[in-house]
Structure 1
């Protein structure tokens, strides 16, 4: 995710790092050259009327806006799910630290804390399709997830077994077990919701249709404007192309919020925040917060 301090409106007009301009600049250069060629060639044997392209541009803007809204809904739902993961993890640990009687020993606190730290770690790597280094997991968790294909589910199962052990020892009542179980269900819902977003992209045919329309429109636009705008055509044509192509590019990033694109969710930073939250509750040393790099990118 791009994280930048607030800037003056004038400076934001020329911002480079954190925008998609660097990614689409070669394409804009192509359309600039095409616009210059359209003006230099003069009137063509066939006529492209501005009015017809204007209607197409309005329709294209509406469809792009709809796709962008759909992609942002996926992005925001993913962020809310990770917010719920943070809340439920802290709630589960609070119950574990305050309700059992007699109170948990240091080793027992470490056991439940390690499981709650491991859950966002394993979910992060599962959603991004990467292999989590086992040495990054707490030692007590490695054995229970080393052979698992769905490691977050295995961690949630281990949390459930921890609750069952406390009940068998008579340290929590049936009412408290139900409360623990409710939090476990919420953790499973978070995992399932994230997997649904990651495994169900926006229909490919819809994305292809809009992508083709954007580029065909950008190809035809200079030839429709050249007759009336003359040498102003490159400026107007490239600006309109930039608007549509940039929106198409950003939407492609947002529709997969768990990826590694600049505008995707910073799962590493969210994982570290959850880890710090549970460690602070048990009085353990905290790892440092992750900070954006020199390109303002927070992973």
Structure 2
């Protein structure tokens, strides 16, 4: 995710970090070449291209804008829903930890172990959710918070976050059987676990259900056709200005198309996707600090205005 102070107008105009330009520059160069060649042909042979009316391009441009706007809105809604879900996960993890620390007895070493393992499993669950959504290896972040007795079975689990949630449920059941807290608090803590499970399922839904491919293909093809056909309709009236107008139009339409595709899956490593590493590290620091730990991992800081 791009994190930067509000730049001035000049910096905004030339900013590339976080911009969609690096993804669409081949399409922009293609439009530049086509429109320049057409402008040269029109200059040397003015009768080559007849004076087409701009009404067809206006109608097609309006329709394409509506399609791109709808897809962009749908992609942004997925991005914002994902960010809301991770905000809920932060809230649930903190609330669950507060309940564990406040309402579970810690008079014996066994009781303290149960309390500590429940918080560690919550941290492991957070890291596991991030790695599942990014399809990366989770073991370095997860195994240090899980008892070695569970490592083998954990590596065989098809859904690691769900497996860790099962371990959390078992620990909560142990606390209930040992009478470490009241039935009311057991129910309240179970509601927090239920909420974290809902967050996992909702994130998996976003990750595994992209926007319909046929709709994406229609918008993609129409964008190419419109930007390639546009110089033929403008060159007779605009002449040498045609490449400039076509490039600005191509940047707008191809940029919206590429940005929508990037936001469609908000869990990746692209500059405009969510900073899941920073969010999960924040949860880890908050929960360890709540336990009284003093050796805390550092915050994830932006590198070149990019927060991972």
TM-score by length of 2: 0.92
Paired position in structure 2 for 1:216: 225
Change (3 A) 1:7 1:141: farther
Paired position in structure 2 for 1:25: 25
Paired position in structure 2 for 1:108: 114
Preserved contact between residue 121 and residue 145 of structure 2 (Cα < 8 Å): no
Between 1:3-12 and 1:39-48, the stretch displaced more is: 39-48
Deviations 1:225-251 (A, max 9, x none): 101101001111100110000110110
The correspondence for 1:244, drawn from 253, 256, 259, is: 253
- Does 2:128 align with 1:122? yes
Q: SS state of the match for residue 172, structure 1?
A: coil
Q: Supply the distance in 2 between the matched residues of 1:176 and 1:258 (Cα, whole angstroms).
A: 34
Q: SS state of the match for residue 301, structure 2?
A: coil
Change (3 A) 1:266 1:66: same
Paired position in structure 1 for 2:62: 58
Q: Supply the distance in 1 between the matched residues of 2:258 and 2:148 (Cα, whole angstroms).
A: 39
Deviations 1:197-236 (A, max 9, x none): 0010000010000000001000001111101101001111
Instruction: Provide structure 1 residue ranges, at least 5 long, that are not aligned to the other structure.
Output: none
Instruction: Provide structure 2 residue ranges, at least 5 long, that are not aligned to the other structure.
Output: none
Paired position in structure 2 for 1:14: 14
Q: Supply the distance in 2 between the matched residues of 1:260 and 1:102 (Cα, whole angstroms).
A: 41
Deviations 1:182-202 (A, max 9, x none): 111101100000000001000
How many residue pairs get aligned? The number is 298
Preserved contact between residue 88 and residue 187 of structure 1 (Cα < 8 Å): yes
Q: Supply the distance in 2 between the matched residues of 1:259 and 1:104 (Cα, whole angstroms).
A: 44
The correspondence for 2:298, drawn from 263, 288, 291, is: 288
Q: Supply the distance in 2 between the matched residues of 1:133 and 1:140 (Cα, whole angstroms).
A: 10
Paired position in structure 2 for 1:95: 99
The correspondence for 1:258, drawn from 267, 290, 293, is: 267
Paired position in structure 2 for 1:275: 284
Q: CA deviation at 1:46?
A: 6.0
Paired position in structure 1 for 2:146: 140
Deviations 1:51-104 (A, max 9, x none): 110111011111101100000000000011111111001111111001123557
Change (3 A) 1:14 1:142: farther
Q: Which runs of 4+ in 1 moved over 6 A?
A: none
Preserved contact between residue 114 and residue 141 of structure 1 (Cα < 8 Å): no
Paired position in structure 1 for 2:73: 69
Paired position in structure 2 for 1:227: 236
Q: Supply the distance in 2 between the matched residues of 1:60 and 1:34 (Cα, whole angstroms).
A: 21
Q: Supply the distance in 1 between the matched residues of 2:243 and 2:147 (Cα, whole angstroms).
A: 60
Give RMSD over aligned pairs.
1.7
Q: CA deviation at 1:154?
A: 1.0
Q: SS state of the match for residue 137, structure 1?
A: helix
Q: How does 1:38-57 map onto structure 2 within 5 Å?
A: 38-42=38-42, 43-44=47-48, 48-57=52-61
Q: SS state of the match for residue 13, structure 1?
A: helix
Between 1:132-141 and 1:67-76, the stretch displaced more is: 132-141
TM-score by length of 1: 0.94
